[in-house]
A and B are shown apart, each in its own frame.
Chain A
Amino acid sequence: MATMPLKNTMIDNTVEDPRQRAPLVLGNHDFTTVTETICRIPEASRPPQAWYIAFAVSSTLTLMLGCMVVYLISTGVGVWNLNNPVGWGWDITNFVFWVGIGHAGTLISAILFLFRQKWRTSINRFAEAMTIFAVVCAGIFPGIHVGRVWLAYWLAPIPNQMQMWPNFRSPLLWDVFAVSTYATVSLLFWYMGMIPDLATLRDRARTKIRQFAYGLLALGWRGSNRQWLRYERAYLLLAALATPLVLSVHSVVSFDFAVSQLPGWHTTIFPPYFVAGAIFSGFAMVVTLMVPAREFFGLKELVTPRHLENMAKIMLATGCMVGYAYSIEFFTAWYSGNVYERFIFMARAMGPYSWAYWTMVCCNILTPQLFWFKKCRTNPWILFAASIFINIGMWFERFVIIVSSLATDFLPGSWGAYAPSWVEICTFIGSFGLFFTLFLLFVRFLPMMAMAEVKSVMPQALHKQGEHQGLGDYWGDMPRGHEHKPGGHDVHH
């Protein structure tokens, strides 16, 4: 294999010229070098030192999560500060937070695929992995908050000792179906996308163990075009199925709140508003992970400033949608003339949890406004910082929705207050440990980018000159001199 010629031929692909599409792969890359760039990360005999440090920290936190879960289950949910009326606190906040983050992966893989956004190829694998790990973290919280987790199978429609069936009219049960379907389909999508790349790793493997492990997972893929035909069709079908699925999952999560009669929860805009917020937070998490990853693993030519800029634009768009929902909710609280609605929105802004409310507004509404400026969209570290603020803001959004509405509902006599216990805080921090542990294992052992897909948007993948104009948006383009030799074949009949 050729060694990786890392040339600093970085041209600015964020310059906008409507006459041509900006290149999506920078540098003098061809198929060989792209393969090399991506494969050498999992193939390295040992990862960079930073990886070990990060892994040590994150696995320690995971251990803490494990201890907290054991402590909770062995002692009872009383170790959390939940009370009456605040029966949902950090547990469900964390659940919605993680599930929301888990929406970007499938959005990028499915929706951007249907919209022919070719730039997605550099980030989709990464985002899909993030999705699955976020959904794993999300699944923990409702799993453990039920109290008697050993009876969790009551959620499934299987005969049990009560001789009763689950209540399908409950949105909480819809959630079980939605989240488990989402986890399954995301996993399928991720795995299917990875099959050709696993085959690449198999064919490059030098040790028996790697050959066996990657070979097993690659299922004997041999790049046959008869197989590609069905593979591509299956991918398109999965994308078409995953698109409404993404919308449905966070809509169902929003139903958990919105079907109730509680002021601040019961409002019809919740489903699309939650979906927009989920995509917003998911993209923020992709940026949080991608900015350091492209730095440390030398992927700047594949995850170019244009990719970052596009992600920033999506965050701006979804951030504005979230802002739209906030303002429509606020307006309607007044317009409805309903005193309870009005009260809860005033309480959010000026009541006991106003600090959380204003944190949310600043992080979610003001931060993305930075992205009106190109400087902020293209500077990786500004993006990185902004994405962290957005993550914080989106966590607080769920906290505000859940806790403020529960704490101060209709009757002042039944109001209450809630602050988390140390167990809840440690459990939440521990979930980050789990998330990052899984993520670090992913970047260590699996192809971080969809090699096959990146290759398919390179100019060398086109079979006639100038064809890139015909293939929709963001068909990669390259600086002159890197196109394949003009073949002069007319391959058409």
Chain B
Amino acid sequence: MHQAPPINMELEAQPLGALAHKVSILAGIVGLAGLGIAVGLSKMGEGASERFYHAYLVSFCFFLSLSLGALFFVILQYLTRSGWSVVVRRVAEVTASNVLLLAVLAVPVMLGANHLYEWTVTNRVMEDDLLQWKEPFLNLRFFLLRLAIYFVVWVGLSRFYLGHSTRQDRQTDPRLTLRLQRWSGPAMLLYAMTVTFAAFDLLMSLDPHWYSTIFGVYFFSGAVVGFFAWQAVVLLLLQKAGRLQQAVTAEHYHDTGKLVFAFVVFWAYIAFSQYLLIWYANIPEETVWYLRRQNGNWALVSIVLLVGHFFLPFFALMSRHPKRRRMMLAVGAVWVLLMHWVDHFWLVMPEFAADGVVPLGLMELACFVGLGGCFVAGVSWGFRNRAVAPIGDPRLPESLAFENV
């Protein structure tokens, strides 16, 4: 232990200013270029435009899940009156608020719905009893309305939390914290319902015949894993940029690492629950979903997911040492993020690749880089004029002095 010297938070948490400006523009250019290439590729050859939408959906859901994981974290911190996390919370607030950008980036998903969702195609619905049964829910108009509602809720919640927290930077009014705490319960309920149905709509309805009640929880668990890995990476980059160098200590990394570990296990638990129950009951209408993911090369992807998304991070992050060493944690976090992308790839793509071929190529990369560039630009933009930590939060001293026992 050490007698902590006073930390100048004003300096430590200085907005990124010109740097953020530069990063945003650069990342934005990369992002638009990526999307441009993807769109270009979509014009080339038969089936290319379908593939664009599929690949786009994978990366869209991936980045959306990071923002949603962040939103969960922000609400949870107020719900539990958490103290340790204050100094790292701004990262989550800004990431969550980036859902506004994702609302814009959702437009291609909406436009391409008929390439993605079988139930939007009238002919298909006409010849399928089940799709007709589901028509009151699974129809394009209601789908778009629901997406709009989800984004309104997410943008509203994330702006509400970010706005109040930013206001507190200057006002240092503890009543703002109280206000955010008071609304955290209802916010969490809204969050749970919207995220669940968004997972049903965006991902589960790719196979409109298939259903799984745990699917919303599965999406959520992955989102939280992805977010914590993202948080570790962003914190490291902020420190590289000369911010929070004293404020964020090994203790905060340790906790972030613990949360990655915990949610990796939680994700595995949820994934196993879903798999075991469907495997065991062996009802064809359910097992078909897993069959597609065991077909041909997809079996390999499934194994990569099992090993890479669970076993490797589980054993790598079990001990306390890698969680406290920044570079080791960074490597782990990037790996987990990669696997989290594979998870979304695994959720989406097999629905369009019945022959067992794994379509992984330039299109997928272009969509990932395209959306990723935009996402990074948005997050970076959020730090332009805003302190990178909530310096007015009444629990900041507690967070700065935090130690794992």
Contacts and interface: CB of A to CB of B under 8 A. Distances in A.
Q: So, do A and B actually touch in the complex, CB under 8 Å?
A: yes
Interface stretch (B22-30, B173-181, B296-304): B173-181
Contacts, number: 119
A269 B403 contact: no
Interface stretch (B146-154, B268-276, B339-347, B349-357): B268-276
Interface in A1-19: 16-19
B174 A19 contact: yes
A471 B402 CA distance: 6
8 contacts: A18-B81, A18-B174, A21-B398, A324-B192, A332-B212, A332-B213, A470-B401, A492-B2
Given A271-B273, A332-B211, A492 B178 contact: no
A251 B281 CA distance: 16
A36 to B, nearest CB: 27
A266 interface: yes
Contact of B213 (A269, A372, A470): A269
B213 A490 contact: no
A17 B83 CA distance: 13
Contacts of B178: 16, 18
A316 B80 CA distance: 13
B265 A244 contact: yes
A259 B84 contact: no
A471 B213 contact: no
Contact of B214 (A244, A272, A337, A469): A272
Contacts of B80: 115, 473
A259 B277 CA distance: 5
A249 interface: no
* Size range of the chain A interface in the assembly: 35 or more
Nearest to A490: B3
Interface string A84-111: 0000000000000000000000000000
Interface in B129-165: 129-130, 133-134, 137
Interface in B207-248: 209, 211-217
Given A259-B280, A260-B281, A272-B270, A328 B213 contact: yes
B281 A320 contact: no
B82 A473 contact: yes
Contacts of A247: 269
B81 to A, nearest CB: 7
A195 to B, nearest CB: 20
A161 interface: no
Contacts of A45: none
A320 B79 CA distance: 14
A269 B216 CA distance: 9
A267 B213 contact: yes
Interface of A: 16-19, 21, 115-116, 171, 244, 247, 251, 255, 258-261, 266-272, 316, 320, 324-325, 328-329, 332, 335-338, 372, 467, 469-473, 490, 492
Given A268-B274, A490-B3, 18 more contacts: A18-B174, A18-B177, A18-B178, A18-B393, A21-B83, A21-B398, A115-B80, A251-B273, A259-B277, A259-B281, A266-B281, A268-B213, A268-B273, A337-B134, A467-B401, A471-B405, A473-B80, A473-B84
* Size range of the chain B interface in the assembly: 35 or more
B394 A18 contact: yes
A19 B394 contact: yes
Contacts of B401: 467, 469-470
A405 B305 CA distance: 36
A335 B137 contact: yes
Contacts of B209: 337
B196 interface: yes
A272 B273 CA distance: 9
B273 A328 contact: no
B397 interface: yes
Interface in B278-331: 278, 280-281, 283, 285
A196 B380 CA distance: 52
B44 interface: no
Nearest to B268: A244
B177 A492 contact: no
Interface in B107-135: 129-130, 133-134
B282 to A, nearest CB: 8
Contacts of A472: 83-84, 402-405
A471 B404 CA distance: 7
A489 to B, nearest CB: 12
A21 B80 CA distance: 13
B181 A255 contact: no
A337 B133 contact: yes
